[in-house]
């Protein structure tokens, strides 16, 4: 029998909702884990400064509730991507990665996602790409030291739009602690909804893809398309994931407070399990 863990991205629920309540809802909705997030929101960025007692509290709570923080999204790094030319920003990026790893270890997270950007909000240039390549081994070394897998996500920019793009960076810095955290919504957009090309590229990640974000998308829209209403071929993408030996998934849901986010999370869990449970 194919076994898998399906997580809920914590942004599936309102930012103001307590984390413990999100964990409870994830469990009740049929998810197996919660993808923890440290991003630009001050309240979430401040998690890097949690005390030893706070870290022990959340680790203990995740164990007692049966809702592990298996994966960890370090979206905060988009503030200081590894290709920035300012050396002080590079040092800040290394600090954020190091602190992210320490928190991941304390919480029991095993895969830490970073977005596939050399720079964010400014043009990518040969110089920023070269700086990314220069800094990448340092970032991977930090994660290897802590024993945390760094997962680079194929994102919405040409720099790393596809799984094969992400694999190229992993090949550049060979390490068991540097892998691909794929995203089938971004992957499908990179190929304009062409399922054949999407699946063929996804399969190029065999041996590299440690986990997958499952979400729908349409050209130009990467985050807010309802599941089943976009152009992602979930049946074929999930079948390809199984073929590659991927067992770790997260529903990357973004909360739309104009509707019942709790009910929608349950709806998404049921929708995805229909494909994950298929023979």
CATH superfamily for domain 5-276 = Divalent-metal-dependent TIM barrel enzymes (3.20.20.150)
In this prediction, residue 86 carries a pLDDT of 98
Mean predicted confidence (pLDDT) in 190-201: 97
- The band of 34, judged by pLDDT with boundaries at 50, 70 and 90, is very high
- The band of 129, judged by pLDDT with boundaries at 50, 70 and 90, is very high
In this prediction, residue 109 carries a pLDDT of 98
Q: Is the pLDDT of residue 250 over 90?
A: yes
Q: Is the pLDDT of residue 223 over 90?
A: no
Measured distance between the N- and C-terminal CA atoms of the chain, rounded to whole angstroms? 9
Residue-wise pLDDT tens digits, 45-80: 999 999 999 999 999 999 999 999 999 999 999 999
Domain limits of the chain? 5-276
In this prediction, residue 96 carries a pLDDT of 98
CA–CA dist 84, 185 (Å, integer): 26
Mean predicted confidence (pLDDT) in 107-130: 97
Q: Which residues of 17-47 are buried (b: 16+ CB within 10 A; e: fewer)?
A: eebeebbebbbebebbbbbbbbbeeeebbeb
Going by C-alpha positions, the residue among 93, 88, 156 that lies closest to residue 124 is 156
Percentage with pLDDT > 70 across the chain = 100
Cβ contacts of 185 within 8 Å, gap of 6 or more: 213, 214, 215, 216, 217, 222, 225, 230, 232, 252
Q: Is the pLDDT of residue 220 over 90?
A: no
Q: Is the pLDDT of residue 224 over 90?
A: no
Q: Is the pLDDT of residue 158 over 90?
A: yes
In this prediction, residue 278 carries a pLDDT of 94
What is residue 27's three-state secondary structure?
Answer: helix
- The band of 279, judged by pLDDT with boundaries at 50, 70 and 90, is confident
In this prediction, residue 1 carries a pLDDT of 82
Residue-wise pLDDT tens digits, 82-114: 999 999 999 999 999 999 999 999 999 999 999
What's the mean pLDDT when you consider all of the chain? 97
- The band of 252, judged by pLDDT with boundaries at 50, 70 and 90, is very high
In this prediction, residue 259 carries a pLDDT of 92
In this prediction, residue 234 carries a pLDDT of 98
In this prediction, residue 79 carries a pLDDT of 97
- Model confidence, pTM: 0.96
Query: Cα torsion for 205, 211, 216, 222, to the nearest 10°?
Result: -80
Q: Is the pLDDT of residue 26 over 90?
A: yes
């Amino acid at each position: 029998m194919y076994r898998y863990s399906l997580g809920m991205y914590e942004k599936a629920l309102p930012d103001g909702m307590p984390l413990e309540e999100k964990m409870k809802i994830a469990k009740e909705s049929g998810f197996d884990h919660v993808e923890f997030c440290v991003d630009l929101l001050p309240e979430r960025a401040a998690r890097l400064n949690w005390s030893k007692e706070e870290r022990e509290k959340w680790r203990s709570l995740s164990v007692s509730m049966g809702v592990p923080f298996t994966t960890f999204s370090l979206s905060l790094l988009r503030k200081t991507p590894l290709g920035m030319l300012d050396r002080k920003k590079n040092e800040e990026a290394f600090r954020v990665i190091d602190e992210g790893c320490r928190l991941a270890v304390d919480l029991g997270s095993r895969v830490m996602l970073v977005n596939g950007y050399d720079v964010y909000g400014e043009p990518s240039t040969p110089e920023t790409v070269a700086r990314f390549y220069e800094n990448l081994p340092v970032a991977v070394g930090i994660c290897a030291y802590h024993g945390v897998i760094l997962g680079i996500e194929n994102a919405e920019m040409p720099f790393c739009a596809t799984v094969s793009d992400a694999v190229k960076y992993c090949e550049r810095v060979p390490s068991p602690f540097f892998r691909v955290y794929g995203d089938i919504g971004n992957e499908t957009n990179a190929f304009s909804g062409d399922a054949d090309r999407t699946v063929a590229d996804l399969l190029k990640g065999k041996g590299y893809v440690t986990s997958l974000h499952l979400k729908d998308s349409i050209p130009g829209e990467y985050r807010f398309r309802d599941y089943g209403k976009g152009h992602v071929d979930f049946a074929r993408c999930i079948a390809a994931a199984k073929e590659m030996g991927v067992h770790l998934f997260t529903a990357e849901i973004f909360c739309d407070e104009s509707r019942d986010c709790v009910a929608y999370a349950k709806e998404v869990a049921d929708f995805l399990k229909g494909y994950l449970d298929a023979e």
